[in-house]
Amino acid sequence: MKDISNYQISQKSSIREAIKQLDNGGIGFTTVIDDNEKVVGILTDGDFRRAILKGISLNKEVGIIINKQFKKIRPKCNKDEIKNIFYTTKVKQIPVIENGKLIDIITEENLFDSRQQKKYKKINLPVIIMAGGKGTRLDPFTRILPKALIPIGEKAMIEVIMDEYAKFGMKSFFISINHKSKMIKAYLEDHESDYTFNYINEDKPLGTAGALKFLEGKIDSPLFVSNCDIIIKDDYSKIYEFHQNGNYDVTVVASMQHHTIPYGVCEIENGGDLKNMIEKPQYDFLINTGMYLLNPEVLKYIPENEFFHITHLIEILQKEEFKIGVYPVSEKSWIDVGQWEEYKKNLRILDI
């Protein structure tokens, strides 16, 4: 690692600060150190997720959620020994410790020297990408191109999304189309890959869930659903595992977003008495990213050929006492390219 300080944080720091450090480091891993800069534990994106799901306050010290029983190696450790750790455990990063201090981090990607060799668990589920919208947030580009074909580097947005799913063995795609549908079909028909495409033609706009009705009775496994303007950089097999282990009927992928109010916030009581003033308070929210995992049984609750949002579906399912799960991902794991400012910002994050 070029700058090891990017992967260290004090055990006295808040969980919120540690999550930000984890996100900024970009490898889903950071070490936690004491006052003498000795490593006392590690924090991974899995630890962050478990803390969120348990409802632990992000104001608490990160030391309460760290893993103190972690794999580590000494300097000049035998390469075969390191490979064996990666082969026989689920760890993706191994800290190199000398005299209790962090001097380097070995990642699975760096060790095997190729992203293509990284091992992903294959889950082979169908995926539907909702590409029928007009993309008004990206006007005036979308007066010429459909939102799904807005370029991300050398690829179209929809192609980048599909490539993320393909890493996990998902290569069967249903595409809902309406606005500039001929352009989308022409692009995909010229797409050189082993992906298969099935189109759901919306004769009229059907919202974020209406087109799913066409799949009722045609699939018998859970399916991923994605808006065509979001990219989730996470382990999709873990999302599926969470969905299965929790016996959820729907899993919503949500991003932990941090917001600071840059002013003093007044709390009042008794019709105008100042109760408290909080200087620049910080708030944390789990934001719906537009990616879901649905069991096929829920599709019968979608009305036929009607404008219908997925939020409407979830409301109905909750009333019917179906089980809805929320899978948290970090702030930078969610890349929203559906509006201009976010599009430009996230091109920088993607290094494009």
- Report pLDDT digits (tens) over 74-113: 998 888 888 888 888 888 899 999 999 999 999 887 776 5
Instruction: Give the total number of structural domains in the chain.
Output: 2
Decide which of 204 and 316 is more confident.
316
In a domain, 241, yes or no: yes
Whether 227 contacts 201, CB under 8 Å = no
Q: How far, in Å, CA of 308 to CA of 212, rounded? A: 10
State whether 101 and 158 are in the same domain: no
State whether 307 and 243 are in the same domain: yes
Residue (of 137, 81, 155) closest to 347 by Cα position: 155
Indicate whether 114 pLDDT > 50. no
Q: How far, in Å, CA of 298 to CA of 217, rounded? A: 11
Q: Which phi and psi angles does 161 have, rounded to 5°?
A: -65, -45
State whether 218 and 258 are in the same domain: yes
pLDDT at 189: 87
Structure tokens at 111: 């060790």
Mean residue pLDDT of the chain comes to 88
Boundary (domain end) residue, out of 117, 145, 166: 117
State whether 340 and 275 are in the same domain: yes
Boundary (domain end) residue, out of 51, 82, 117: 117
In a domain, 40, yes or no: yes
State whether 108 and 131 are in the same domain: no
Amino acid making up residue 73: I
State whether 111 and 171 are in the same domain: no
Residue 90: give its domain's CATH number: 3.10.580.10
Cis amide prior to 140 (ω within 30 degrees): yes
pLDDT at 139: 63
State whether 113 and 140 are in the same domain: no
State whether 207 and 286 are in the same domain: yes
Q: What is the mean pLDDT of residues 161-171?
A: 95
DSSP annotation of 303:
P
Q: How far, in Å, CA of 171 to CA of 314, rounded? A: 27
Structure tokens at 181: 């549908």
Beta bridge partners of 335: 231
For residue 163, the Cα-to-chain-centroid distance in whole angstroms is 15
pLDDT tens figures, 49-65: 999 999 999 999 999 99
State whether 163 and 235 are in the same domain: yes
Boundary (domain end) residue, out of 88, 117, 146: 117
> Count of CB atoms within 10 A of residue 338's CB?
20
Task: Give the structural domain span for 153.
Answer: 127-349
pLDDT tens figures, 212-254: 999 999 999 999 999 988 999 999 999 999 999 999 999 999 9
> Count of CB atoms within 10 A of residue 265's CB?
12
In a domain, 47, yes or no: yes
Whether 125 contacts 222, CB under 8 Å = yes
Q: Identify the residue whose tokens are 């490593």.
A: 39
Indicate whether 121 pLDDT > 80. yes
In a domain, 122, yes or no: no
In a domain, 203, yes or no: yes
Indicate whether 271 pLDDT > 50. yes
pLDDT tens figures, 182-201: 899 998 988 888 999 999 99
Q: What is the pTM of this model?
A: 0.86
pLDDT at 140: 65
Q: What is the mean pLDDT of residues 144-171?
A: 88
State whether 99 and 241 are in the same domain: no
Q: What is the mean pLDDT of residues 286-299?
A: 97
Give the burial string for 119-158 (b: 16+ CB within 10 Å, else e).
eeeebebbbbbbbbbebebbeebbeebbbbbbebeeebbb
In the structure, what pLDDT confidence band is assigned to residue 163 with cuts at 50, 70 and 90? very high
State whether 156 and 268 are in the same domain: yes
State whether 134 and 105 are in the same domain: no
Residue 275: give its domain's CATH number: 3.90.550.10
In a domain, 92, yes or no: yes
